[in-house]
Amino acid sequence: MASSAPNQTPIASCLVIGGCGFLGSAIVTSLLSKHPKCRITAADIRLTNQLSNPNVKYVTVDITDVSSIKSVVENAKPEVVIHTASPVHGLGREIYMKVNVDGTKNVVKVCEATGVKVMVYTSSAGVVYDGSPLINVDETEPFPVIPYDSYNESKAIAETVALEANGSNGMLTTALRPAGIFGPGDRQLVPGFINVVKNRQTQWQLGNNTNLFDFTYIDNLAVAHILAASVLLHQHATTGVTDPSVDQRKHLDGTSIFVTNGQPVYFWDFAKAIWCHYGVYNAGSIVLPRSAGLVIAGLAEAFSKFMGREPGLTRFRVKFSCAHRYFDIRKARDLLGYEPEISLTEGLRRCIEWFKAEEEKAAEKK
């Protein structure tokens, strides 16, 4: 359970970069609910998922262009910037370095110069992953010497950029590290499991399902970002003021924090919970060892490359589904007052309900 809630300050104005994306749009919705007087600017490279609300303004931004982000920040005049923008997994290193690293440098530079009080950066729990088991690790876990992939390499660099900006021109920063984000609007994690049902492949299971894995429901993560911003705003307002009721060692600024649902589950149990919503109750009857899965995936990748199409099974997916990856979120509970409000079971119910509604809409258009 969360310890006594840390002091917070209401958010008067907030710029959400990536505000039309999966996470960004959830943050905008949560801000409207929890800080109804907040003036919100949602900025993204493509304006989708727009809400009709007078407190939200949507603007186009390209964070790889410093003049673009400068124009947005100067016009929005936010006291808080929540930076969620990032390309999805599965792209090339060049795009990650351009958007996640150079783009974040641009955001930080502009925020420092324009007097932004607080910046919350969305990092990733994968920044500490190198393929080795991560068993209830906390924020003392170092970055790996060799990053697992280009995505997490870029996220680690960008996180460092954000945290090193803490204190610059009075701005306070923090980085949140979510794991396995899912929920309505998800275009990566849950759709992959749903496709397994559609392809009638639920009888296969990679690995022995003894690996615990952390997932995070999107609305819980959105709340965590807002809590972080509120706590940092209070710290900003009380800089130089010693409150005897507050442990000075528990300051949030300049730190990274893991955020999950706090309910690690066996990986394939999560998949099977999704499949049950589609009437599949006998999944995983054929268990394929990890080593065999890697060989088959390697062959599938080679064949698909030759045929000029995407492989159904990849070595990354095999490693991902067999990985031990769960995290200690005591720091989030302690410094943010974070407690996941929506359980994995309820989160999956809402998520699948949304996907089925989307499938019905698509069918009606045909």
Residue in 13, 294, 254 with CA at minimum distance from that of residue 120: 254
Active-site residue identified among 96, 129, 151, 326: 151
Rounded to whole angstroms, the Cα distance separating 118 from 107 reads 12
The kind and range of the H/E element at 175 are strand 172-178
Give the dihedral of Cα atoms 344, 272, 178, 40; nearest 10 deg: -60
Residue 151 annotated as catalytic: yes
Q: What's the Cα-to-Cα distance from 81 to each of 32, 237, 288, rounded to whole Å? A: 15, 16, 46
According to DSSP, the residues that pair with 43 across neighbouring strands are: 17, 59
Residue in 74, 72, 78, 77 with CA at minimum distance from that of residue 59: 72
At 108, phi and psi to the nearest 5? -60, -45
- How is residue 288 annotated by DSSP? E
User: Would you say 253 and 172 are in contact if contact means Cβ atoms under 8 Å apart?
Assistant: yes
Rounded to whole angstroms, the Cα distance separating 85 from 99 reads 8
Tokens of 118: 């607080």
DSSP line for 294-363: HHHHHHHHHHHHHHTS--SS-HHHHHHHT--EEE--HHIIIII----SS-HHHHHHHHHHHHHHHHHHHH
The kind and range of the H/E element at 231 are helix 218-237
Q: Tell me which amino acid residue 363 is.
A: A
User: Would you say 123 and 100 are in contact if contact means Cβ atoms under 8 Å apart?
Assistant: no
User: Would you say 297 and 315 are in contact if contact means Cβ atoms under 8 Å apart?
Assistant: yes
The catalytic residues are 151
